[in-house]
Structure 1
């Protein structure tokens, strides 16, 4: 029904979160129909992002500079370190505007079934960073899932020898909930009511 170029576009779009085959087909059609105002600028933005965006060597956030804008910001509180599963979690925390500390992006969660261990997540580097004398509190903002809580407990145990306060987000974040899917008010309330691990 369509040429191979459009079919490839549809297949690639359907891999994005929230887009199934039908939504991807509609998006591809809109892009092709609006070639000058949507397709060409999008292609340029994608090419530029592919060439310039990289992971921050300090926290793991995505940016075009290294260290990222958050790590380079002297107004951030060095004594607060928030541990998140992925960049989506970091962006969700930043979206609220209620956290002014530093971040550590794990890049995943511990999962024996998937073969993901502490060395795959850089937890040793996190422990080293937390014990550098500048950090006073580590906030474990992992998802309220089995893997998220397992990861949080493992990190809390590893941080016990660092002399830092270890807290977690308060209840209010639904069990099984992902930070990226929560509204700003829920994240802000959970951050303010964090508890000792």
Structure 2
């Protein structure tokens, strides 16, 4: 069996490091990139480098931006008294797509994971506490994922923020719209029942 030539193997290896990209997809992308005209490959490489150089963290919420503060933090029309705490910048985009939230955000850049050596000092927790020192914020919504790490992070933050004296809430978890009960796992059903509301 013929082995992959070194330059192609190098491209394959770099692409495989990206999250969600398996070996087959990385190989398909590597072949596609090699088949692209050199000018398109150069444009792709330059675009990646330019984005890496220009994108920084917002001074207030730690979301990605190309300015000192992101568009959300700089928008006077947003409710700056409500802060939604999320794990990653992509979670901000997901919340914004819902069009149901008009507050601001705080991005932790991870979750507590003792097995991976990630503790509170590895997250933007101190920065969150600093934001809450004034009297501007009246509610913090914890919107971490409902996996083990997300729940542990939510519980830690709730305990840490209680003495601050503001409202601490957690996003509801349950059945997705259009989901069938028969296919839902026990935890999802349990959460759906816990988060039920009167009609």
TM superposition score normalised by structure 2:
0.80
SS at match of 1:70: coil
| 1:59-106 residue CA offsets vs partner (Å, 9 max, x unmatched) | 111121111222212221101100011112222112222222111111
Q: Structure 2: state its 5+ residue gaps.
A: 177-191
**1:186 — aligned with what?**
none
For structure 1, the residue ranges without an aligned partner over 5 or more in a row are 175-189
Report the number of matched residues.
178
- What's the secondary structure of 1:5's corresponding residue? helix
SS at match of 2:109: coil
Offset, 1:194: 10
1:139 deviates by 0.4
The change in CA–CA distance for 1:163 and 1:69 in structure 2 (over 3 A counts) is: same
Q: Paired residue for 2:134?
A: 132
Structure-2 separation of matches of 1:113 and 1:19: 24
Conservation of the 8 A alpha-carbon contact between 2:83 and 2:106: yes
Name the SS of the counterpart of 2:140 in structure 1: strand
Matches of 1:67 and 1:166, distance apart in 2:
25
Contact 2:107 2:124 in 1 (8 A): no
Corresponding residue number in structure 2 for 1:103: 105
What is the SS of the residue equivalent to 1:88?
Answer: helix
Residues 1:70 and 2:72 aligned together: yes
Q: Which whole-Å deviations, capped at 9, do the CAs of 1:30-73 have from their partners, x for residues lacking one?
A: 12222257423211210111211112221111121111222212
Task: Flag the structure with larger Rg.
Answer: 2
Question: Equivalent residues in 2 for 1:1-197 (5 A)?
Answer: 1-35=3-37, 38-172=40-174
Q: Distance in 2 between matches of 1:121 and 1:80?
A: 20
- Deviation readout 1:138-193 (Å, 9 max, x if unpaired): 0000111122111111111121122211111112278xxxxxxxxxxxxxxx9xx8
Give the distance between the partners of 1:113 and 1:32, measured in 2 at CA: 39
TM-score using structure 1 length:
0.80
* Contact map agreement 1:81 1:130 (CA 8 A) in 2: no
Supply the RMSD in Å over aligned alpha carbons. Answer: 2.4
Is 1:58–1:71's contact at 8 Å kept on the other side of the alignment? yes
